C-alpha cells in the first residue's frame, strides 16, 4: 500500500552511494523508467577518491535532499566505503541505510517515500529488492511445469 504525499508528509530524501559510477547510472536508469526523481541524489565514489572528500560529497548530497520525513541512504555493499560512510550518518527516525542497492530498489523507493515512517520504508525497499532477484531458469522451469 502506498501513501499519498500530503503537506504533512514530505517526501523522504534518497541518496544512492556506490563504488564507481553505479550510483549515477542507477538514478539515471530509474529516471528513464519513472520520470524525474526530486529529492534523489547520487554519490559515486571513485576507486582512488579520498575518503574525506567522499564524506564531504555525501554530506552535501544529504543537505540537498534533506526532509522532515528523513533521508534514506542506499549503498552498494555492506562493509564497503559507501556503506561505512552512510552508516556514519545513521540517526534514528532521521537517516536510515539499506545496503545492496539495485534498480528495482531505487524504483520501489519512489512509490514508498511519501510515507512518514522512514524505517518502514527502508524495510519494504529491502524486501522488494530481495523479491526482485531471480534465477531465470527457475522461472522457465516453473512455467514449463505449469503448462
Q: b or e along 13-33 (b: 16 or more beta carbons within 10 Å of the residue's beta carbon)?
A: bbbbbbbeebbeebbeebeee
Walk me through the domains of the chain, giving residue ranges and CATH numbers. 13-146 (3.40.50.510)
* Per-residue pLDDT band at 1 (split at 50, 70, 90): very low
pLDDT single digits (tens) 131-142: 999 999 988 887
How far is 101 from 123, CA to CA, in rounded Å?
A: 13
Cβ partners under 8 Å of residue 109, min gap 6? 12, 14, 72, 74, 121, 125
- Note the pLDDT of residue 79: 95
- Predicted confidence at residue 7, as pLDDT, reads 47
Amino acid at each position: 500500500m502506498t501513501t499519498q504525499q500530503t503537506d504533512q508528509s514530505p517526501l523522504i530524501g534518497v541518496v544512492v552511494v556506490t563504488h564507481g559510477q553505479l550510483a549515477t547510472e542507477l538514478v539515471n536508469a530509474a529516471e528513464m523508467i519513472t520520470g524525474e526523481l526530486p529529492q534523489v541524489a547520487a554519490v559515486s565514489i571513485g576507486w582512488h577518491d579520498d575518503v574525506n572528500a567522499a564524506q564531504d560529497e555525501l554530506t552535501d548530497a544529504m543537505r540537498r535532499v534533506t526532509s522532515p520525513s528523513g533521508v534514506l541512504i542506499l549503498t552498494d555493499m555492506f562493509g564497503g566505503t559507501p556503506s561505512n560512510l552512510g552508516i556514519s550518518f545513521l540517526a534514528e527516525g532521521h537517516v536510515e541505510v539499506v545496503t545492496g542497492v539495485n534498480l528495482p530498489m531505487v524504483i520501489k523507493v519512489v512509490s514508498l517515500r511519501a510515507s512518514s515512517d522512514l524505517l518502514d520504508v527502508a524495510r519494504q525497499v529491502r524486501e522488494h529488492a530481495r523479491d526482485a532477484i531471480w534465477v531465470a531458469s527457475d522461472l522457465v522451469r516453473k512455467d514449463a511445469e505449469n503448462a
